[in-house]
Structure 1
Amino acid sequence: MELDLVTYAVPFLLVGAKTTLLISVFGVALGLPFGIALAVIRTSKNRILNRSADIYCAVFRGTPMLVQIFVIYYGLGQLSAIRSNPVIWWIVGDSLHAAILAVVLNTGAYTAEIFRTALLSLPRGLIEASQACGMSVWATFRHVKFPLAGR
Protein backbone atom coordinates (compact mmCIF):
# COMPACT_ATOMS: atom_id res chain seq x y z
CA MET A 1 0.00 0.00 0.00
CA GLU A 2 1.35 3.35 -0.97
CA LEU A 3 1.55 5.96 1.72
CA ASP A 4 1.07 8.78 -0.80
CA LEU A 5 -2.33 7.45 -1.79
CA VAL A 6 -3.44 7.22 1.84
CA THR A 7 -2.28 10.72 2.69
CA TYR A 8 -4.05 12.00 -0.42
CA ALA A 9 -7.36 10.19 0.28
CA VAL A 10 -7.74 10.71 4.04
CA PRO A 11 -8.70 14.43 3.89
CA PHE A 12 -11.43 13.64 1.35
CA LEU A 13 -12.70 10.78 3.49
CA LEU A 14 -12.80 13.03 6.55
CA VAL A 15 -14.89 15.59 4.68
CA GLY A 16 -17.28 12.81 3.68
CA ALA A 17 -17.43 11.52 7.26
CA LYS A 18 -18.23 15.03 8.51
CA THR A 19 -21.04 15.36 5.98
CA THR A 20 -22.42 11.94 6.88
CA LEU A 21 -22.41 12.79 10.59
CA LEU A 22 -24.11 16.11 9.89
CA ILE A 23 -26.87 14.45 7.87
CA SER A 24 -27.42 11.72 10.45
CA VAL A 25 -27.43 14.04 13.48
CA PHE A 26 -29.91 16.46 11.93
CA GLY A 27 -31.95 13.62 10.48
CA VAL A 28 -32.38 11.86 13.79
CA ALA A 29 -32.77 15.05 15.85
CA LEU A 30 -35.58 16.31 13.62
CA GLY A 31 -37.02 12.92 12.65
CA LEU A 32 -37.57 11.66 16.19
CA PRO A 33 -40.08 14.31 17.31
CA PHE A 34 -41.71 14.20 13.88
CA GLY A 35 -42.11 10.44 14.21
CA ILE A 36 -43.57 10.71 17.70
CA ALA A 37 -46.12 13.23 16.43
CA LEU A 38 -46.97 10.90 13.54
CA ALA A 39 -47.40 8.00 15.97
CA VAL A 40 -49.87 10.02 18.01
CA ILE A 41 -51.75 10.93 14.83
CA ARG A 42 -51.78 7.27 13.74
CA THR A 43 -53.36 6.24 17.04
CA SER A 44 -55.95 9.04 17.01
CA LYS A 45 -59.61 8.51 16.32
CA ASN A 46 -59.74 11.11 13.54
CA ARG A 47 -60.07 8.95 10.44
CA ILE A 48 -58.76 11.49 7.94
CA LEU A 49 -55.60 12.27 9.93
CA ASN A 50 -55.11 8.62 10.81
CA ARG A 51 -55.44 7.45 7.22
CA SER A 52 -53.19 10.16 5.79
CA ALA A 53 -50.49 9.32 8.36
CA ASP A 54 -50.87 5.63 7.47
CA ILE A 55 -50.39 6.40 3.78
CA TYR A 56 -47.38 8.61 4.53
CA CYS A 57 -45.72 5.88 6.60
CA ALA A 58 -46.48 3.21 4.01
CA VAL A 59 -44.95 5.29 1.22
CA PHE A 60 -41.81 6.28 3.09
CA ARG A 61 -41.25 2.85 4.61
CA GLY A 62 -42.00 1.11 1.32
CA THR A 63 -39.59 2.97 -0.91
CA PRO A 64 -35.79 2.97 -0.67
CA MET A 65 -34.20 6.05 0.82
CA LEU A 66 -32.04 6.55 -2.26
CA VAL A 67 -35.19 6.85 -4.38
CA GLN A 68 -36.60 9.35 -1.90
CA ILE A 69 -33.42 11.44 -2.10
CA PHE A 70 -33.57 11.38 -5.91
CA VAL A 71 -37.24 12.39 -5.95
CA ILE A 72 -36.68 15.22 -3.47
CA TYR A 73 -33.53 16.58 -5.06
CA TYR A 74 -34.07 15.94 -8.77
CA GLY A 75 -37.85 15.55 -9.00
CA LEU A 76 -39.09 18.42 -6.87
CA GLY A 77 -36.49 20.75 -8.32
CA GLN A 78 -38.18 20.44 -11.72
CA LEU A 79 -41.41 22.07 -10.51
CA SER A 80 -41.55 25.79 -11.21
CA ALA A 81 -43.73 26.43 -8.14
CA ILE A 82 -40.97 25.09 -5.91
CA ARG A 83 -38.22 26.97 -7.72
CA SER A 84 -40.15 30.24 -7.35
CA ASN A 85 -40.63 29.79 -3.59
CA PRO A 86 -37.35 30.79 -1.89
CA VAL A 87 -37.99 28.88 1.35
CA ILE A 88 -38.84 25.58 -0.31
CA TRP A 89 -36.07 26.04 -2.87
CA TRP A 90 -33.58 26.57 -0.03
CA ILE A 91 -34.58 23.15 1.33
CA VAL A 92 -34.81 21.26 -1.96
CA GLY A 93 -32.24 23.12 -4.08
CA ASP A 94 -29.20 22.28 -1.98
CA SER A 95 -28.00 18.67 -1.99
CA LEU A 96 -27.16 18.66 1.73
CA HIS A 97 -30.55 20.07 2.68
CA ALA A 98 -32.35 17.62 0.40
CA ALA A 99 -30.46 14.70 1.96
CA ILE A 100 -31.29 15.91 5.47
CA LEU A 101 -34.96 16.27 4.49
CA ALA A 102 -35.04 12.74 3.07
CA VAL A 103 -33.47 11.32 6.23
CA VAL A 104 -35.89 13.29 8.43
CA LEU A 105 -38.92 12.05 6.47
CA ASN A 106 -37.67 8.46 6.42
CA THR A 107 -36.70 8.46 10.10
CA GLY A 108 -40.06 9.96 10.98
CA ALA A 109 -41.91 7.16 9.21
CA TYR A 110 -39.94 4.39 10.92
CA THR A 111 -40.08 6.11 14.32
CA ALA A 112 -43.83 6.56 13.94
CA GLU A 113 -44.26 2.84 13.42
CA ILE A 114 -42.11 2.01 16.44
CA PHE A 115 -43.95 4.41 18.74
CA ARG A 116 -47.37 3.46 17.35
CA THR A 117 -46.82 -0.18 18.24
CA ALA A 118 -45.45 0.86 21.64
CA LEU A 119 -48.53 2.98 22.32
CA LEU A 120 -50.89 0.21 21.20
CA SER A 121 -49.12 -2.38 23.37
CA LEU A 122 -49.80 -0.52 26.61
CA PRO A 123 -52.18 -2.29 28.99
CA ARG A 124 -55.67 -0.85 28.73
CA GLY A 125 -56.00 -1.02 32.52
CA LEU A 126 -53.31 1.62 33.05
CA ILE A 127 -55.04 4.06 30.75
CA GLU A 128 -58.44 3.41 32.31
CA ALA A 129 -56.95 3.83 35.78
CA SER A 130 -55.44 7.20 34.89
CA GLN A 131 -58.74 8.36 33.46
CA ALA A 132 -60.57 7.08 36.54
CA CYS A 133 -58.26 9.22 38.67
CA GLY A 134 -59.47 12.26 36.75
CA MET A 135 -56.53 12.78 34.42
CA SER A 136 -57.24 14.50 31.13
CA VAL A 137 -56.35 12.91 27.83
CA TRP A 138 -53.24 15.11 27.56
CA ALA A 139 -52.19 14.35 31.16
CA THR A 140 -52.68 10.63 30.55
CA PHE A 141 -50.49 10.82 27.48
CA ARG A 142 -47.80 12.91 29.17
CA HIS A 143 -47.61 11.02 32.47
CA VAL A 144 -48.63 7.45 31.58
CA LYS A 145 -48.55 6.62 27.88
CA PHE A 146 -45.44 8.44 26.68
CA PRO A 147 -43.07 7.36 29.49
CA LEU A 148 -44.14 3.71 29.10
CA ALA A 149 -44.01 3.77 25.29
CA GLY A 150 -40.61 5.48 25.40
CA ARG A 151 -39.09 2.49 27.12
Structure 2
Amino acid sequence: MASKMASCIFCKIIKGKLMSSRPKIPCFKLFENEKTLAFLDINPLSQGHALVVPKFHGEKLTDIPDDHLTDILPITKRLVKATGAVEYNILQNNGKGAHQEVGHVHFHMIPKPNPQEGLGISWPQQPTDMDKLKALFEDIKSKV
Protein backbone atom coordinates (compact mmCIF):
# COMPACT_ATOMS: atom_id res chain seq x y z
CA MET A 1 0.00 0.00 0.00
CA ALA A 2 2.96 2.34 0.54
CA SER A 3 3.55 2.72 -3.22
CA LYS A 4 -0.14 3.52 -3.78
CA MET A 5 0.02 6.14 -1.03
CA ALA A 6 3.17 7.64 -2.55
CA SER A 7 1.40 8.19 -5.88
CA CYS A 8 -2.02 9.11 -4.47
CA ILE A 9 -2.96 12.70 -5.32
CA PHE A 10 -5.20 12.99 -2.26
CA CYS A 11 -2.43 11.77 0.05
CA LYS A 12 -0.17 14.42 -1.51
CA ILE A 13 -2.81 17.10 -0.97
CA ILE A 14 -3.29 15.95 2.64
CA LYS A 15 0.48 16.12 3.25
CA GLY A 16 0.85 19.38 1.34
CA LYS A 17 3.18 17.69 -1.17
CA LEU A 18 2.27 17.84 -4.82
CA MET A 19 4.10 16.44 -7.84
CA SER A 20 6.95 18.71 -8.85
CA SER A 21 6.69 17.62 -12.50
CA ARG A 22 3.18 19.10 -12.74
CA PRO A 23 1.96 22.61 -12.16
CA LYS A 24 0.94 23.11 -8.57
CA ILE A 25 -2.60 21.91 -7.98
CA PRO A 26 -4.39 24.33 -5.71
CA CYS A 27 -6.14 23.04 -2.61
CA PHE A 28 -8.89 25.32 -1.38
CA LYS A 29 -9.28 23.81 2.09
CA LEU A 30 -12.71 24.28 3.58
CA PHE A 31 -12.20 22.19 6.72
CA GLU A 32 -9.42 20.16 8.29
CA ASN A 33 -8.93 18.19 11.48
CA GLU A 34 -6.66 15.27 12.43
CA LYS A 35 -8.69 12.69 10.46
CA THR A 36 -10.50 14.56 7.69
CA LEU A 37 -9.88 17.15 4.98
CA ALA A 38 -12.55 18.95 2.93
CA PHE A 39 -11.75 21.08 -0.10
CA LEU A 40 -13.31 22.45 -3.27
CA ASP A 41 -13.22 20.17 -6.31
CA ILE A 42 -11.04 21.77 -9.01
CA ASN A 43 -13.20 20.18 -11.74
CA PRO A 44 -16.63 20.95 -10.26
CA LEU A 45 -19.99 19.80 -11.55
CA SER A 46 -21.52 22.91 -9.96
CA GLN A 47 -20.54 25.88 -7.79
CA GLY A 48 -19.66 24.65 -4.29
CA HIS A 49 -18.83 21.05 -5.35
CA ALA A 50 -16.57 19.85 -2.55
CA LEU A 51 -14.70 16.71 -1.55
CA VAL A 52 -14.56 15.31 1.97
CA VAL A 53 -11.60 12.97 2.35
CA PRO A 54 -10.51 10.78 5.24
CA LYS A 55 -6.78 11.26 5.81
CA PHE A 56 -6.36 7.49 6.21
CA HIS A 57 -5.44 6.08 2.80
CA GLY A 58 -7.77 3.39 1.55
CA GLU A 59 -9.09 2.79 -1.93
CA LYS A 60 -12.58 1.63 -0.94
CA LEU A 61 -14.93 2.45 1.91
CA THR A 62 -14.36 -0.98 3.47
CA ASP A 63 -10.62 -0.18 3.70
CA ILE A 64 -11.18 2.77 6.05
CA PRO A 65 -11.38 2.18 9.83
CA ASP A 66 -14.71 3.29 11.28
CA ASP A 67 -13.08 5.87 13.55
CA HIS A 68 -11.77 7.68 10.44
CA LEU A 69 -15.30 8.02 9.07
CA THR A 70 -17.10 9.55 12.06
CA ASP A 71 -16.66 13.16 10.89
CA ILE A 72 -17.60 12.63 7.24
CA LEU A 73 -21.36 13.23 7.40
CA PRO A 74 -21.25 16.06 9.95
CA ILE A 75 -18.61 17.88 7.86
CA THR A 76 -20.58 17.26 4.67
CA LYS A 77 -23.71 18.63 6.35
CA ARG A 78 -21.79 21.76 7.35
CA LEU A 79 -20.66 22.21 3.73
CA VAL A 80 -24.25 21.91 2.50
CA LYS A 81 -25.32 24.63 4.92
CA ALA A 82 -22.30 26.82 4.10
CA THR A 83 -22.95 26.67 0.34
CA GLY A 84 -26.66 27.30 0.77
CA ALA A 85 -27.42 24.28 -1.41
CA VAL A 86 -31.12 23.42 -1.30
CA GLU A 87 -30.86 20.36 -3.53
CA TYR A 88 -27.64 18.36 -3.62
CA ASN A 89 -26.09 14.92 -3.95
CA ILE A 90 -23.71 13.17 -1.58
CA LEU A 91 -21.74 10.69 -3.67
CA GLN A 92 -19.09 8.11 -2.84
CA ASN A 93 -17.80 5.66 -5.49
CA ASN A 94 -15.87 2.41 -4.91
CA GLY A 95 -13.84 0.99 -7.80
CA LYS A 96 -13.33 2.01 -11.41
CA GLY A 97 -16.49 0.20 -12.53
CA ALA A 98 -18.40 2.42 -10.10
CA HIS A 99 -16.77 5.57 -11.57
CA GLN A 100 -14.06 6.07 -8.93
CA GLU A 101 -11.29 8.13 -10.52
CA VAL A 102 -8.94 8.58 -7.55
CA GLY A 103 -8.00 5.45 -5.58
CA HIS A 104 -8.53 7.11 -2.20
CA VAL A 105 -11.93 7.16 -0.49
CA HIS A 106 -13.64 10.50 -0.91
CA PHE A 107 -17.15 11.86 -0.66
CA HIS A 108 -18.54 14.43 -3.06
CA MET A 109 -20.98 17.10 -1.94
CA ILE A 110 -22.49 18.32 -5.20
CA PRO A 111 -25.03 21.14 -5.21
CA LYS A 112 -27.81 20.68 -7.80
CA PRO A 113 -28.95 24.27 -8.47
CA ASN A 114 -30.68 23.50 -11.78
CA PRO A 115 -31.11 20.70 -14.36
CA GLN A 116 -27.93 21.71 -16.24
CA GLU A 117 -25.51 21.81 -13.29
CA GLY A 118 -24.60 19.25 -10.68
CA LEU A 119 -24.78 15.50 -10.88
CA GLY A 120 -26.82 13.95 -13.68
CA ILE A 121 -27.76 10.32 -13.18
CA SER A 122 -30.13 7.71 -14.49
CA TRP A 123 -31.80 5.18 -12.24
CA PRO A 124 -32.28 1.94 -14.21
CA GLN A 125 -34.75 0.15 -11.94
CA GLN A 126 -34.98 -3.61 -12.35
CA PRO A 127 -38.13 -5.71 -12.06
CA THR A 128 -38.50 -7.23 -8.60
CA ASP A 129 -38.98 -10.91 -7.82
CA MET A 130 -40.28 -10.74 -4.24
CA ASP A 131 -39.13 -14.27 -3.37
CA LYS A 132 -35.58 -13.49 -4.50
CA LEU A 133 -35.71 -10.12 -2.71
CA LYS A 134 -36.77 -11.83 0.53
CA ALA A 135 -33.93 -14.38 0.23
CA LEU A 136 -31.46 -11.55 -0.40
CA PHE A 137 -32.82 -9.64 2.60
CA GLU A 138 -32.40 -12.67 4.86
CA ASP A 139 -28.82 -13.27 3.60
CA ILE A 140 -27.69 -9.68 4.07
CA LYS A 141 -29.48 -9.22 7.39
CA SER A 142 -27.77 -12.33 8.80
CA LYS A 143 -24.36 -10.76 8.04
CA VAL A 144 -24.95 -7.23 9.35
Q: Same fold (TM over 0.5)?
A: no
TM-score range, shorter chain: under 0.3
TM-score by length of 1: 0.23
- Which of the pair is proportionally richer in helix? 1
TM-score by length of 2: 0.24
